[in-house]
Structure 1
Amino acid sequence: MKPFTKQQTQDYARDGYLVVPGFCSREETDRLYRVALDDEAMRKNAMDLNDQSGKKTRLSLWFKPGNDVFGYLTRSRKMVQSVSELLEGDAPVCHFHSKLMQKEPKVGGAWEWHQDYGYWYKNQFMFPDQLLSVMVALTPASKANGCLQVIKGSHKLGRVNHGFAGEQVGADKVMVDNALKTMELVYCELQPGDALFFHSNLLHRSAANLSDEPRWSIISCFNSLSNIAYNEPSTAWKEPIDQVPDEAILEWEAASLSEADFLKKENDPALKNTGWESDVEIQKDS
């Protein structure tokens, strides 16, 4: 993959996100989706997180990128080089965690308005400009099946206060309302293999999947080595990524995810009540 153009890096800095069509080939995406469906460890370690209406979104989250096909994607040259171009500073790129998002037809729940740094602030990462996420669509993502919505430029607000929204963390309603009055709401509709790069302070959400089609995606979250986390027991966030060639995604033999260090819901610092969350009113899903 070619480096980002100057225009693309400027767009990311201005908007807080960047869509890259065809980041993964059809063959790469098919292999990733096949493993997502078939790998027993992925199913066994999936967590259900209820939204405010009680609908469930399933996700499997792990930290250290391994020698499985998702590890090869995370560690691929095109991924690491792309992330490096967008993160603040020139420190080596580290992998914080990856998660497989599984939003099933008719029953897949919403994600409330939030910033990723609204979660990761509790992990005590110091610098939000040195954190970003990359979503790669494994199935089509549309308005109908609950694609990601973003508030364009909202990363410039800084961190917004967050409280609990069901079993999720959600952003302060007043700030979300004000942001929606001030900035553009964008539906990030993606085709399989498209990638969405987004800043840790970008306000985003997704509606429940009320369609007949699934919406699955892989989201990898990255950190600069120079960005310290003072309340994060995993260690991948401070280990420079061991890059592999892009061809690994398709051509290398891949291990099972049974070797991955999956997160258990009860161990997530972001879901622990610190006391101040109850003072934050959350924007209701509509």
Structure 2
Amino acid sequence: MPQVDATGNPNALLHSHLFAVAMADSVFTYDAASWCVTQEMKDAYDTNGFILVRNAFSPEEMRKVRAFVEGSDAIQERAYSRDDGKNRRSRVTLWNHPGRDVLGVLARTQRVAGTMEQVMGGQEVYHYHSKLIMKDARTGGRHVWHQDYGYWYKNGCLYPDMGSVFIPIDDCTRENGCLQVLKGSHRLGRFDHVRIGEQLGAEPERVEKAKEQLEHLHLEMSAGDTLFFHSNLLHTSDQNASDLRRWVFIVAFNRRSNNPYKEHHHPRYTPMAKVPDSALLECGEGSDDSNDQWFIKLDDDISIRERVH
């Protein structure tokens, strides 16, 4: 007789066990008193393309972040969306400079920027852009299989020495469209990206072949968990058909040594002042510096527009 969990799902315990085995070498737990980036973390990032840090931000910190994004007119009014090819849309607000508000401070903390810098090899990184992805209940669209470097390559970045930090503001589950990855797929190199709906996705035939060889993981995460991942890691997320929204904050970083060779809609190297982890709870709402943040409009995204239209 199959095992069941508290919800009565007969396969849940088996899935949970298999997930734990697959993830064991890439999952770590944050401890404010002892946190540092270890060689084990660096090896996991290099081998698997990501590390997942549980409880990276406290409930108090996440309440502050959640209240800020829900109440920020600057963020909500600048959101745009693209069709996912299946008649659903997720809203996105994207900006190039971290600013001095709550999210700007969060992006520059040692916990975020410092950890990303270390797992990427220890060379100086700068803020490439930040975005809030809002998959609202019953309407949130999917994001097709892609590599971030599949887009950023078009922006004049010669090397995939880039990465992203994925911070759930809400719990991310299979039901509301959690992130999915192909473990170790960053070692496949950059795939060509083609039009899928109003998005660019990695070449589907190659993705299917990669799925035959690599572990396909659903990264269910709680608010405050944090994922650090390589720019060539293949990832996707499903539509949100649940009654629960799924909002996440993502910060992208680039190495200073990988400064783009041409002007484009994201910044070239711009020095970034990292702040102590304590700054997140100590900071105010932030001044209205939205002009300095350089928000991106839908048609500003040249790497997408040139291939989609």
Please give the per-residue CA displacement for 1:227-247, whole angstroms capped at 9, x wherever unaligned. 021344356440121112212
Partner of 2:229: 198
CA distance in 2, matches of 1:250, 1:162: 40
In structure 2, give the amino acid aligned to 1:51: D
Distance 1:236 1:27, change over 3 A: farther
RMSD after superposition: 1.6
Q: Which residue of the other structure, out of 126, 130, 144, is the alignment partner of 1:98?
A: 130
Structure 2 unaligned runs (5+)? 1-31
Distance (Å, rounded) in 2 between the aligned partners of 1:234 and 1:154: 27
In structure 2, distance between residues paired with 1:152 and 1:243 = 30
2:134 is paired with a residue whose SS is strand
Q: Is contact 2:167–2:226 with CA below 8 Å preserved after alignment?
A: yes
Deviation at 1:5, TM superposition (A): 2.3
Residue 306 of structure 2: SS of its match in structure 1? coil
Of 234, 237, 247, the match for 1:216:
247
Describe how 1:179-194 pairs up with structure 2 within 5 A: 179-194=210-225
Identity over the aligned pairs, expressed in percent? 37
The size of the alignment, in residue pairs, is 274
Asked whether the 8 Å contact 1:103–1:209 carries over to 2, the reply is yes
Contact 1:99–1:220 under 8 Å retained in 2: yes
2:91 to 55, 58, 63: 58
CA displacement, residues 53-111 of structure 1 (integer Å, 9 cap, x when unaligned) = 121011100011111000001111222220111114x4321000000010000100000
**Residues 103-136 of structure 1, C-alpha deviation per residue, up to 9 Å, x if partnerless?**
00010000000000111111121110x2000000
2-structure distance, mates of 1:55, 1:80: 33
Give deviations 1:180-212, integer Å, cap 9, x for gaps: 000000001000000011100000000000000
Q: Is the 8 A contact 2:179 2:235 kept in 1?
A: yes
CA contact (8 A) 2:68 2:285 kept: no
For residues 1-286 of structure 1, what are the structure 2 equivalents within 5 Å? 1=32, 2-88=35-121, 90-128=122-160, 130-233=161-264, 236-255=267-286, 256=288, 258-259=290-291, 260-274=293-307
> CA-to-partner distance for each residue in 1:125-176, whole Å, 9 max, x for gaps?
1110x20000001000000000000000000000001011122110001110
User: Whole-Å Cα distance in 2 between the matches of residues 196 and 225 of structure 1?
Assistant: 22
Q: What CA distance in whole angstroms lies between the structure 1 residues aligned with 2:144 and 2:203? A: 11
1:108–1:232 distance in 2 versus 1, CA, 3 Å:
farther
Looking at structure 2, the residues matched to 151 and 235 of structure 1 have their Cα atoms a distance apart, in angstroms, of: 27
Give 1:40 deviation, angstroms.
Answer: 0.5
Task: Give me the whole-angstrom Cα distance separating, in 1, the residues matched to 2:172 and 2:266.
Answer: 32
Higher relative contact order (CA 8 A, sep 6+): 1
Would the alpha carbon gap of residues 36 and 141 (structure 1) be closer, same or farther in structure 2, given more than 3 Å must change? Answer: same
